[in-house]
A = this chain, B = another copy of it.
Amino acid sequence: MVQKFKQHIASSLCFLQGKKLLLACSGGLDSVVLAHLCDASDLDFALAHCNFSLRGSESDDDEHFVRELASTFEVGIFIKQFDTEQYAKEQRLSVQMAARELRYKWFEELLQAIEYDYVLTAHHADDSLETFLINLSRGTGIEGLSGIPEVNGNIVRPLLPFSRNEIMEYAKSESIQWREDSSNASTKYLRNKIRHNVVPILKGLSPSFLQNFLNTQHHLGQTNDLANNHLNELKSRLFQQRNDDIEIKISELQKLQPLDAYLYGLLNGYGFIEWNDVKDLLTAESGKQVFSNTHRLLKDRDYLILAEIAPEIKGTYYIHLNKASGELPIKIQLEEVESFEKQGQNVVFLDKEKLNFPLVLRNWEKGDYFYPFGMQGKKKLSKFFKDEKMDLISKEKQWLLCSGNDIVWIVGRRADERFKVEESTRKIVKITWLT
């Protein structure tokens, strides 16, 4: 196996030679064998071990084992302990996913901190096949069947073309020791069933089954690349940025066939789950919305509007003059000034004596009206919004600055006539919105 590994490095992964490599080592069979192979191939590597503190003293024994391994090879070692269960709780992740996230985050930090070039992990062909079958049994799409690439940014998986058997036989022939891992809780049962009952029979169907499988995964990955290129081209054509939001013309979406697949492809990065609701939105009445955890999609006449859900900032806030206000959702500055300067979109000047302090910052409510600056009479805010061609999301995000119940400034858009500076004005307040 050493020969085959060396050849594989020399032919497909020659960019690893002479680089500083960080080998992710759990102490299990695969990563220990990878360490032996890297040593035998004169690669320049250090070990990195995550102690996820999930199995008490067993975890600590693993850590100890990897320390010993590093000293055998006379290479550097980096160790980090994680409170994985705590992190999983905080981030609402499964323990598996939490461990995964912590692991790759730390590797990324380490690479930067110690100026290493690549992280090596010990995934092999059987891992890929098992994951393929797990995903197949649960129902998946091309992403779930394509497998992980051998080279993905600075993460490299040099054992991907090798089978578990090859790795095991090499370990035995070289009397290599490793630690058995009793974790992998969530998928262990299913994965073991697949490993012991399904995979051997599949491999028995054809002597080149595993190689054929890897080729198939490679082809699927490439088809996925094609589909993604297509979707990215479409996005750059159909997704129009409007302020913070994205506007998508519905008539353009409706030209796409198969529509389900396009909606999923274009929008699955935004966390939506109810795809039938998303599809129904195309023909729904204006104002209908579908929510994900992070985004919402709004039908607004001929468009869908895709908006990030901002952290909850609705409510009522008080802004004092010459006194610290509490934390505000937007930066509003009040100051008394001597004279009238240039008024603008983000700056208005008002007659101090007409205002009741503290001023009130709040969102739009049904029935709101104001007296538009420079005009006679009052106007409903709903009418003003319509004239400004504002979509629902922009309306909801709009802040109003009020004096008691009266609107003083539709922030960033229009001041109120009633509070304007006049000849009779004795004290001027300058209000600035710092965007």
Stretch at the interface among A15-23, A45-53, A211-219: A211-219
Contact partners of A136 in chain B: CB under 8 A: 202, 212-213, 216
Q: Is the CB of B261 within 8 A of A225?
A: yes
Given A198-B202, A225-B258: A141 and B230 interface contact (C-beta under 8 Å):
no
Q: Is the CB of A194 within 8 A of B198?
A: no
Asked whether A142 is an interface residue with its Cβ less than 8 Å from the other chain, the reply is yes
Given A193-B205, A226-B227: A137 and B198 interface contact (C-beta under 8 Å):
no
Given A145-B145, A205-B194: A227 and B223 interface contact (C-beta under 8 Å):
yes
Instruction: Specify which of A138, A197, A216, A265 lies most central, judged by the most chain B CB atoms within 10 Å of its CB.
Output: A216
A contacts with B, residue count (CB < 8 A): 44
Asked whether A231 is an interface residue with its Cβ less than 8 Å from the other chain, the reply is yes
Asked whether A222 is an interface residue with its Cβ less than 8 Å from the other chain, the reply is yes
Q: Is the CB of B206 within 8 A of A137?
A: yes
Query: Chain B: which residue is nearest A205 at the CB level?
Result: B137
Interface members, chain A 196-255 (any B CB < 8 Å): 197-198, 201-202, 205-206, 208-209, 211-213, 215-216, 219-220, 222-227, 229-231, 233
Asked whether A326 is an interface residue with its Cβ less than 8 Å from the other chain, the reply is no
Query: Chain B: which residue is nearest A224 at the CB level?
Result: B223
Q: Is the CB of A138 within 8 A of B261?
A: no
Instruction: Specify which of A141, A142, A212, A215 lies most central, judged by the most chain B CB atoms within 10 Å of its CB.
Output: A142
Contact partners of A425 in chain B: CB under 8 A: none
Contact partners of A216 in chain B: CB under 8 A: 136, 139-141, 144-145
6 more A-B residue pairs beyond the given contacts A141-B216, A198-B202, with a C-beta to C-beta distance below 8 A: A137-B212, A139-B212, A140-B212, A141-B220, A223-B224, A226-B231
Q: Which 6 A-B pairs have the closest CB atoms?
A: A139-B212, A222-B261, A230-B230, A141-B219, A137-B205, A226-B227
